[in-house]
Amino acid sequence: MPEIRIDPVTGRAIIIAAERAKRPRHDGTNEESPCPFCAGNEQMTPPEVFAYRDPQSSPDAPGWTVRVVPNKYPALDNEGGGASSRRGVYESTAGLGVHEVIIESPEHVVNVGELSEEQLATVLRVYRERMLALSKDERWRSILVYKNQGAPAGATLEHVHSQLIALPEAPEQLRAEIGGARRYYEANGRCLFCEIARQDAEGGARLVAEHERWVTLCPYAARFPFEIWILPKRHAPYFERSSDQNLAELAHCLRDALARLNRVLDHPPFNYLIHSYPLDGAETRHYHWHIEILPKLVQVAGFEWGSGMFINPVAPEDAVRLLRQVTL
């Protein structure tokens, strides 16, 4: 079973998951072996936990459009106790959580930017359905949906997919965002993310695109070159409460952002992730869900690891100029 260890110095939680070291690669370098995510190879994955599929079809057989399976090499395990142990300065708990894979196409598509708008909307609805289903289990307080696009961004399988991890606690990065947003709310009586969406949409220097309900921007303090955020214009703490219509528009907006990135940077590796409020139903006026798209164009190096700061060689205002020039 994986183990969550607490760094005695910083308090940071680290997942030690030896199972993960056994992951095979299918990133285009071993063409002979079949892809476990292609339709027809369903028996190569653990049994599905959810799928949008033809009502005439059977689980774990072809006929699906998006399919969700447990990660075969999970970073966390959803069975077993959460008992913690302590020895001297060292503290750990069982690595309790859920780790799922969302397979985004039955065909062997390798870039999410190639999915149709309709298919991408279906993928977003599947994210929502899994978040809603997992939020019924009281053990989970936070769910992170993320995508690794391309091997340099951490993908070991090239077939389009994203992942989801449900955790018993909100993770450090989300807590840091919520803490900062709460302080801003307490001082100003407004949601900081609403303010960012408004200020950047009006100023325009960091605005990639404005849609009816969404704004796409390069954030002011971007960690990475061409980092992009997508925020709902209206205050909304929970991704998983988005309506079908909202998600259809979001698919349009996300596809537009990815197409711009792919055009300007020739299909770069990237991660995207959805930050949504923890599942505890407490005060939510200060936090606003959003998508972060993080291209992997520069290596994170010794300075970043040692300082916790980032050096970004491309000002977001310069990235925006290039992203806006694209004709799609």
Complex with a copy of itself: residue 192 or 247, whichever CB lies closer: 192
**Antiparallel, parallel or unpaired: β 98-103 and 207-210:** unpaired
Which among 161, 275, 288, 290 is annotated as catalytic?
161
Complex with a copy of itself: residue 20 or 213, whichever CB lies closer: 20
**β-bridge mates for residue 161, sequence order:** 103
Judged by CB under 8 A, does residue 285 bind a copy of itself?
Answer: no
Beta-carbon contacts of residue 190 (< 8 Å; ≥ 6 apart): 184
Judged by CB under 8 A, does residue 168 bind a copy of itself?
Answer: no
Residues 245-284 that bind a copy of itself (CB under 8 A): 271-275
- At 12, the amino acid letter reads R
What single DSSP character describes residue 40? T
Judged by CB under 8 A, does residue 102 bind a copy of itself?
Answer: no
Candidate list 44, 52, 264, 310; residue touching a copy of itself; CB under 8 A = 310
Residues 189-218 that bind a copy of itself (CB under 8 A): 192-193, 195-196, 199
Contact 206, 219 (CB under 8 A): yes
Contact 76, 15 (CB under 8 A): yes
In the numeric block, the tokens 């995508």 are attached to 147
Complex with a copy of itself: residue 209 or 291, whichever CB lies closer: 291
Two tokens, residue 85: 């142990």
Judged by CB under 8 A, does residue 111 bind a copy of itself?
Answer: no
Query: Could you tell me which stretch among 50-58, 85-93, 230-238, 320-328 binds a copy of itself (CB under 8 A)?
Result: 85-93
Polymer length in residues for the chain: 328
Complex with a copy of itself: residue 64 or 238, whichever CB lies closer: 238
> What span, in angstroms and rounded, lies between the C-alpha atoms of 201 and 291?
16
Judged by CB under 8 A, does residue 54 bind a copy of itself?
Answer: no
The CB-of-154 to a copy of itself minimum distance in angstroms stands at 3
Judged by CB under 8 A, does residue 306 bind a copy of itself?
Answer: yes
Rg of the chain over all Cα atoms, to the nearest angstrom: 20
Candidate list 1, 49, 133, 153; residue touching a copy of itself; CB under 8 A = 153
235 annotated active-site: no
User: Helices 117-134 and 244-265 meet at what angle, rounded to 10?
Assistant: 120
The residues assigned a catalytic role are 161
